Amino acid sequence: IYLLTAFTATLAQARVIESNRYADVLEYMNANTLFVTDLDNTVMQPVQTLGSDQWGSAQMAEFEKKGFAKEQSTLLGIGMFSLVQHFTKVETVETDTSSIIQKIAELGATQIGLTARHVLLTDRTLKQLNTLGVHFNGKDRFPPNSEFKNVAHFQDGVVFVGTKNKGETLKAF
């Protein structure tokens, strides 16, 4: 599901629109729009099951079944997911995703990606997006914020929240 948040400049109110297709959001884009999209299973996905978001979650659950504490299972799962990402090729979820994201920028909207990926995957994630021709212009429109850096990592238009809550992190951003 894609989230689109349109902010009116004078009232600072937000309107959230959810859709199952990128093309559906184009009619809402203008210079006062903030387009926020998840990455895994929304913008991109591995070309195979290994390295998918579902695979990573299953690995964490498997560690818990084997007796590891939840925190340990999470760390082990993140480690395995991160390692596999360095060898995983990705594709866009929809064939026209990269062209629609480009069109959103041309319409003047600000775009950012939002992901639960760990900060250790920043460079690899940005390389994966680059291979797909996906770039977010939010990198040019949001100045670095030292307070935000304590909550999550923001680089090249993508917010990396790790194990934190995406909604709360987005509010902090």
Measured CA to CA, the distance from residue 36 to residue 3 in angstroms comes to: 6
**Structure confidence at residue 147 (pLDDT):** 59
HSE, side-chain direction, 13 A CA sphere, residue 88? 26
CA torsion through residues 132, 133, 137, 143, sign: positive
**Per-residue model confidence as pLDDT tens digits over 44-79:** 999 998 888 889 889 989 999 999 999 898 889 888
**Per-residue model confidence as pLDDT tens digits over 125-148:** 999 999 999 999 988 777 665 556
CB 109, CB 33: distance < 8 Å: yes
Buried b (16+ CB within 10 A) or exposed e, 146-171: eebeebbbbebbbbbbbeeebeebbe
SS3 173: coil
Q: Residue 32: name the closest of 8, 61, 2 by CA.
A: 8
CB 111, CB 137: distance < 8 Å: yes
Kindly state the DSSP code that residue 8 receives in the 8-state scheme: P
User: In sequence order, what DSSP letters do the residues of 97-153 get, joined into one string?
Assistant: HHHHHHHHHHTT-EEEEEE---GGGHHHHHHHHHHTT---THHHHS---HHHHTT-E
**Per-residue model confidence as pLDDT tens digits over 106-123:** 999 999 999 999 888 999
**Per-residue model confidence as pLDDT tens digits over 20-53:** 888 888 988 999 888 999 999 999 999 998 888 8
4: exposed, middle or buried (Cβ count in 10 Å: 0-12, 13-18, 19+)? buried
Can you read off the two tokens belonging to residue 44? Answer: 């991109």
